[in-house]
Structure 1
Amino acid sequence: MPNYQNQSESLANRFIKYAQIDTQSDPRSTTSPSTAKQKNLAKVLVEELQEMGIHDAELDEFGYVYACIPATTNKQVPVICFCSHMDTSPDCSGLDVKPIIHRKYQGQDLVLPDDPTVVLKMMEHPDLKNQIGNDIITASGTTLLGADNKAGVAEIMEAAAFLVAHSEIEHGEIKILFTPDEEIGRGVDNVNLEKLGAQYAYTVDGETCGSIEDETFSADGAMLTIYGVSAHPGFAKGKMQSAMKIAAEIISALPKDQLSPESTAHKEGFIHPVDIAGNVEETMVEFILRDFDDAKLAEHGATLESTVKAVMRNYPEASYKLCISAQYRNMKKVLEAHPQVMEYGILAIERAGLTPKRQSIRGGTDGSRLSLMGLPCPNIFAGEHAFHGKQEWVSVQDMEKSVQTIINIAMIWAEKA
């Protein structure tokens, strides 16, 4: 049976090509995809898939890429899907990304040339300890890299090319799905599950090599609107009640030593203000609420509301509106009902020569919502690190292990059928 090898650095070259295409999503946009430029990468992927021989690859109006690798066995194998998102985070520029390969890393500080103040240090990035002798890819210091999630996209593409080239490998029908707008929580808003036609799926969007994740945060969003009382600042004594200052007071009154991203880890949830805009008369504050436990998530919403009410009592002429809405839910219970999805993923990681690391995600993936939509979908590692910032990096060798894991998953589902 042939083994995957990164011939002529095809994997690294794929990733670098994709990373240089700006696909940043926009949370303020109302279109789907939120930015038209995401389709620039989608078109490249469709063209490459068709050139491989996957002739049904297509890009739909919403920016989703669908493709199918036909089965190479007569066995009745469940249809599985591999999924990654094409967009990059709005938190850091994705324009004019200049990927750099740092060959045979030896533990040194990596100073990024376009901004020498951006330095990757092993003491700040513990996973670098496992990369001695490997090839590390970073950006140049002024942008993010886009390994989240173009590493996953490149790995799925590389695995697809290998499977198409080696039809002697037995596997069932394999679906490929590339999504827009995952970074802004809309990654599967317009996905067509009937067209996809898969029974199980794996997102390829995880961090540490060998990791597999079956649990995410449950997530709510909250929008707080403060309606203040405006007056001419020269004659405002006893009259003005500034919506901006009230909003600032509410944010300041929230817990700081708990229930905030800065002070929580592991299974601890939080309340986090992510955007504020307005003026004296009207100010809006956007929050995200997160926890692994749905009951605790509801408690965080109650904490936010009680904090708002307590502050607003000091401003009787002002008023407010607080709207809390569900965003996604923990996929744990869905995956527990389909244990083979995790079992085969763990076995695939082992066959790649790795020690599986079963983990929880302090965040969400497209798999969270896909699981709740009826498509059980854990998350496997892509090798991305320090995402959403200028210090983002990925190891070529970790990416190779992800490709091997994807191929192994396809083979194992056929073996077990």
Structure 2
Amino acid sequence: MEQQLEVNRSSETVAKKPPRSSLGVVGWIQANLFSSWINSLLTIVASVVIGTIGYKTVGFIVSADWAVISVNFRLLLVGQFPIEEIWRIWVGLTLLSVLLGFSWGIWKGSIGHVAMTIGVLMLIMAIVPFVTMNTRLLLAMNIVLMLGAFFIGHKLPKVKIGIFVLWILYIPIVITILNGFGVLPPVRTGLWGGFLLTLLIASVSIVLSFPIGVLLALGRRSKLPIVKWFCIIYIEFIRGIPLITVLFVMQLMLPLFLGDGITIDNVVRAMTGFTLFSAAYLAENIRGGLQSLPRGQFEAAQALGLSQPKMMGLIILPQALRAVIPAMVGQFIGIFKDTSLVAIVGLTDLLGMGKKLIANPEFLGKQMEVLLFIAVIYFIFCYLMSHVSKRLEVSLGLGKR
């Protein structure tokens, strides 16, 4: 009988649900915003300030004259790229849409969020009133191609190797199409401008600075004195001077060192400066990840009989890079925003084109509209990189035990 009572009590204990810890909306507001007179005062003041800023911002957006954007939309996006050669940019965008669609269907995860964000941006651009009908049709075609590639990639995962190779070759292919390089009629880089130039400089710098940064980080930890001290001197020297100095050296002093017989394009000089500058900072981020690993990881890899290259490539580097994803993505976002400095050395990126529009007597007094439009574009792409970083951290299980 006593055993039966104990069983009944234990079953009642198991079946009984714990009390709810949620306070509800009203309870949460009272506990977090109005828990004391100081918190209540701060909440009221903050609400008034935020409400005023929001009201003024919405009022400006509604009442502003956005003709400066609609008239110069093409200049802001592609600069003075010849109209008859705009199809080259559309080819690059179409290839990007197809690659994003296939990658979304094959790997899903973070790349899916990138594809959806790019698709939404295309949709928004297609419905804005100052876009031509041809542009709307081409944007709609890219959205359809992305969705079609998604379903094909979902059904045919075996094409992942080919898609991965195309991702590696994507930037060289696009630059070849844009420039021509003897295959197509040449379009000199002096005509590249606007957001197109910003995106190209940032993409090339990010892609090339990553492997260089990895080599510099490994070289700084090398036991070979020449390699080690070369990497140390390079990293400390580059980190000790501002980026604008590197750009000026690349634009003005590099031709003096090369002589009259060798010429390097201005855009290539800017890409080189950004790559070399970013690689030094990435090297320190990656070195921090290497130092964060416990000594047991190195000893375990050596106990398995792995050689030094295999130990670094298969055991150490993946863990180190996983640990410094936030720092690396922060550096990539910094590169993307710092591309605005090329306007100082004579290149017309997105911000440089905006400054030219503001200086135009026809659009005097329209600087807020232009700068707000530019700020929104920078924010969208920087937030996209940050969002992908967070999704990647979640998929890799960072911060979990």
For Structure 1 versus Structure 2, the TM-score category normalised by the shorter chain is: under 0.3
User: When the two structures are superposed, what TM-score results if normalisation uses the length of structure 2?
Assistant: 0.25
User: When the two structures are superposed, what TM-score results if normalisation uses the length of structure 1?
Assistant: 0.24
Which has a greater percent of strand? Answer: 1
The structure with higher relative contact order (CA 8 Å, sep 6+) is 1
Which has a greater percent of helix? Answer: 2
- Structure number with larger C-alpha Rg: 2
